Amino acid sequence: MKKKLKDAKGLWLEILPEVLWAYRTTLKTSIGEMPYSLVYGTEAVIPVGEPSLRYYHESDTSNDESRRKELDEVDERRDMAYIRMVTQKQQAECYYNKKSKVRPLKVGNYVLKAKTQASKDPRESKLGTNWDGPCKITDEVIKGSFQLETIEGNLLPNNWNISHLKFFNF
């Protein structure tokens, strides 16, 4: 879809409805359904000039009956799509959490904070220190973000992410 829009250059406005139709009628792996079928309760049929053999053999009564059956089942299909979507999100979360390191830092712990490139002294060589501190954790602002103060008791102006902190023992 992206490629088709890119190739269209200035004609993207004319091609956009086709691209949106393709997106809405394509099976999504996260929910196992097409967004079109979840909204309207039936699969999309692309109109073609010649009616198909399937269309000719469909009678009015059987068509109405099958449509009612599809509409009765649409809520169940939506629920199953929601369950598949939640399951996929839980699997992604489990995969992420398996690879992440847990560093239990608490209020009152002493840490070293990483020096950024801007805060490094230009007179130091590449063998200069990479860590500032020690600093004391005074507050956990949100999960993984901490407010720090220096040993003298001055609060640092910004919150610090746990990825830029290292536990420090005296």
Nearest to 139 by CA among 151, 156, 163, 164: 156
Mean pLDDT of 67-85: 84
- pLDDT (tens digit, 9 = 90+) per residue, 130-168? 898 899 999 999 888 999 999 999 999 889 998 889 999
Nearest to 162 by CA among 151, 84, 142: 142
Confidence grade of residue 116 (pLDDT, cut at 50, 70, 90): confident
pTM summary value: 0.44
Cα–Cα distance measured from residue 113 to residue 105, given in angstroms and rounded to the nearest whole number: 13
Is the pLDDT assigned to residue 4 strictly greater than 70?
A: no
- Please give the helix or strand (H or E) that residue 114 lies within, else none: strand 110-114
Is the pLDDT assigned to residue 46 strictly greater than 80?
A: no
Lowest-pLDDT range of 50-59, 84-93, 120-129: 50-59
Confidence grade of residue 169 (pLDDT, cut at 50, 70, 90): confident
Quote the pLDDT of residue 139: 93
Confidence grade of residue 36 (pLDDT, cut at 50, 70, 90): confident
